Amino acid sequence: MGYQLVVYQFSRPKVERGDFSHFIRLYHPDKLPSGRALRQMMNSLTFMIEGFDSDPRELHSIPEVRRFYAAFRKAWPYWLFFCNLDSEELRMMTLCCLPSIAALSVDQQSKVVVEYDRQELLEFLRENLILMSAMCQRGDVLEKSVHERTRAIFTYFGLPANVSAL
């Protein structure tokens, strides 16, 4: 049995200061286990940001949030291994890291449509899949499971599940 889902929440003040140091202290690669214990942590984290509820913009459109997640990714680039694929948070975090996105509000719809450069997304995935693979190696994840996780990530982002696309 794997780890339970861990929801890690960043407060608005921490986002505005770019402070994710507490998380890094807990999940720095030097602090992470290896083998089975690490393998069980795959797909176990989700991230939330609180304090922007009164802001009418989508989180991926708020400059402070975009800067925070871009810096967080540089400091801890293991999202594709650890992030849970059953929620929208990884998608939002990834959108924050893409250089060019456009959010379009459609009349009569509660959700905003987000457009982005597919090549930018593929480049993001390519860079981060390398780090996911390293974490998989450390966790003794079977090659078949690595391919399954990669396909699941592609599906999550609405891409063809063809791992050779990268």
Domain coordinates in residue numbering, the chain: 6-165
pLDDT exceeds 50 at position 122: yes
pLDDT for the residue 1: 44
Task: Work out the pLDDT band at 116, boundaries 50, 70, 90.
Answer: confident
How far apart (Å, rounded) are the C-alpha atoms in residues 153 and 94?
12
Of the given ranges (11-20, 55-64, 89-98, 131-140), which has the lowest mean pLDDT? Answer: 55-64
Report the pLDDT averaged over residues 82-90.
Answer: 95
Average pLDDT estimate for 142-150: 95
Residue 86, both tokens = 């059953």
- Tell whether the model's pLDDT for residue 55 goes beyond 70: yes
CA 109 – CA 133 distance, rounded (Å): 38
> What are the tokens at 144?
């078949």
Residue 85 burial by CB count (10 A; 0-12/13-18/19+): exposed, middle or buried? middle
Distance CA 141, CA 136 (A): 5
pLDDT at 5 over 70: yes
Report pLDDT for 58: 84
Instruction: Report, as an integer, the average pLDDT of 147-164.
Output: 86
- pLDDT-based confidence at residue 99 (cuts at 50, 70, 90): confident
Tell me the average pLDDT across 3-13.
Answer: 92
Whether residue 102 has pLDDT greater than 80: no
